[in-house]
Amino acid sequence: ELLDFVNNKLFKELKELEITSNMPIRKTIVKSAFEDANNYMKNGVLLRQVINVIDEVDFNSPEDRHSFNDIYEKILKDIQNAGNSGEFYTPRAATDFIAEVLDPKLGESMADLACGTGGFLTSTLNRLSSQRKTSEDTKKYNTAVFGIEKKAFPHLLAVTNLFLHEIDDPKIVHGNTLEKNVREYTDDEKFDIIMMNPPFGGSELETIKNNFPAELRSSETADLFMAVIMYRLKENGRVGVILPDGFLFGEGVKTRLKQKLVDEFNLHTIIRLPHSVFAPYTGIHTNILFFDKTKKTEETWFYRLDMPDGYKNFSKTKPMKSEHFNPVRDWWENREEILEGKFYKSKSFTPSELAELNYNLDQCDFPKEEEEILNPFELIQNYQAERATLNHKIDNVLADILQLLEDK
């Protein structure tokens, strides 16, 4: 009887719920969640046991809510491990570290313009939660974060994620950030803080590129998101964004974006992340760029975060952890140039020095390791990572060539 009720009545009615334009997202999300859902449990006894366990959770209890948040975080990781939605999940260690550096305060607005499952949003909320003391603080907490997500499934996961963090009416839009002309943004559409891991490697249609000034038009999705960030950042606002190596050494539009960063913003820090942070889903090397809109750049520091002792690479079973950022934390407040052998681990550059380099930000890179004999499994993993990096470089070169042809 339970299976019959769930399959033939409950799911059917939830899929057919009537939705109006003024309904709160807490109600509309129910229909979205069940539109393409099916019940794969064939055993009514097991289904009853699952329902009983969930029914015991008291969502008004801080302890139960916290436990359920942990469970949901585990579900998001499992989705990534299944290989279905890996692009939507940024490692928690990275989102928490960026939120720690940018240090959001109640009353400030924070956005992720390609928010996936909401990792940056929840890292922000976790830092804001302890700042709540009054009912007015709670109101500020409820309106602190804003997200946009293009794909339906991660949008659904992000909204649910915010519900679990006590946000009654999540401000997460199901849409494409790049579809609006950047020249049309008003002050009300700008943010104090932007944290992002924008999609990279993708390409955009001509109609999307036309939403940007000619000198910033690019076929590379990540380039366009960088332009949007610049347009949507408030005065004195601050940014932490994850970008691939290709942005650092890329030319054409990338060079113009980097020059704009240096000339019009304060590009103060670039953290070179160790390889395999996103392994095994991509072998592309990544970086965190920190900048703000307080003044022009006076100096840009680079810091290479090496793989922690005891690790050859990160993996599903050995992911990056918060403590792996401790070397950066120790260096951050007492910055100094660090030379290890022939290679700089940390170094600062003036704007004029970056200009002489034609804004090639591929500095303090990882030294080439001495050749070692690898077992076949490690050899294949390294080959896959190097192939992904080379493919990304080829995509960047092709995008630059296409851009040159379009400019003529």
For residue 286, what pLDDT is reported? 94
393: confidence class by pLDDT, cuts 50, 70, 90: confident
Q: For residue range 251-261, list pLDDT tens digits in order.
A: 999 999 999 99
pLDDT band at residue 373 using 50, 70 and 90 as cut-offs: low
Give dist(CA 332, CA 50) in Å, integer: 47
Mean pLDDT of the chain: 88
Domain boundaries, the chain: 1-56, 67-407
Please state the CATH superfamily assignment of the domain spanning residues 67-407 in this structure.
Vaccinia Virus protein VP39 (3.40.50.150)
Where does the pLDDT of residue 203 fall: very low under 50, low under 70, confident under 90, or very high at 90 and above?
A: confident
How many CB atoms lie under 10 A from the CB of residue 163?
17
Confidence of residue 112 (pLDDT cuts 50, 70, 90): very high
DSSP symbols for 82-105: TTSSGGG---HHHHHHHHHHH---
pLDDT, tens digit (0-9, with 9 covering 90-100), for 321-341:
999 999 999 999 999 999 998
Predicted local confidence at residue 85, as pLDDT: 43
Do the bridges between strand 286-292 and strand 233-244 make them parallel or antiparallel, or are there none, so unpaired? antiparallel
Span of 71-80, 199-208, 319-328 with lowest mean pLDDT: 71-80
This prediction has a pTM of 0.82
* Contact status, residue 326 vs residue 235, Cβ threshold 8 Å: no
Which residue is associated with the tokens 């769930």? Answer: 6
End-to-end CA distance of the chain: 69
Q: Please write the tens of the pLDDT for every residue from 5-32.
A: 988 888 888 888 888 877 777 777 787 7
Contact present, 179 and 171 (Cβ < 8 Å): no
Contact, 302 vs 252, CB < 8 A?
A: no
Q: How many Å separate Cα 146 from the centre of its chain?
A: 13
Whether 244 and 285 have beta carbons less than 8 Å apart is answered as yes
DSSP string over 48-59: HHHHHHHHT--T
